[in-house]
Structure 1
Amino acid sequence: MLDYIGQDGEEHSLETPLTPADFAFQEGRFKKQFRSKPLGFDEPGVAVHEYIDLGMEERQDQKPFIWQVRKNKLVRIGVGEPIVRLVEERLRQWRVLQELAGIRKESAPDLH
């Protein structure tokens, strides 16, 4: 849950899934894989947890991002391709574990 102050001056909350990209953003060693300047809200983008479900053609004009709060403002931080691959790989591994545990019936799909 991300708490921030909106443009209206009111407090707001955004519930968003926690992904490996969010973890990586907190680690200094991955700093180069994120845009240092937040994406503008007018730039086309898709949250990374939704981006990984898009086909290659659908990804063409989109920029993957994660939500963060800076100075109490909600911002979109661009995510580099290596981090997108990391998120996809961790999702594949999670689905395999679910399948082995009998929680998930179908095989883990090959994500691109």
Structure 2
Amino acid sequence: MPRDKKPAATVKKNRTVEDVDEKKIMKMYWNKNMLLRVLKQVHPPNIAITSGAMEMMKNIISNMMLKLVQKSYERNLRRKKKKSKLSIKDIMFAVMEVFPPQMA
């Protein structure tokens, strides 16, 4: 019984607006899935969440990450390093500054 061969995957060289929109949509679904996984681990499995609450949680997480990156970058500049990469120590100190001591 011969198998049907699938066509080889083609590489797109020119990206269009539709491709970028698809990536944003997939990223949104990925964030939603990760938040739902955490919710299922913390709460009983029969609990649900509205789209508005999901959007709010996504915004909180993105703002938190933005603050961490800004603080890490500030510390990197204070050390007068000309490197563009952030070190583990930069991120650790940013976490200590942004979060309360119990969470850090």
* TM-score after normalising by structure 2: 0.31
Higher relative contact order (CA 8 A, sep 6+): 1
* TM-score after normalising by structure 1: 0.29
- When Rg is computed on C-alpha atoms for both structures, the one with the higher figure is 2
- Richer in strand (by share): 1
- Richer in helix (by share): 2
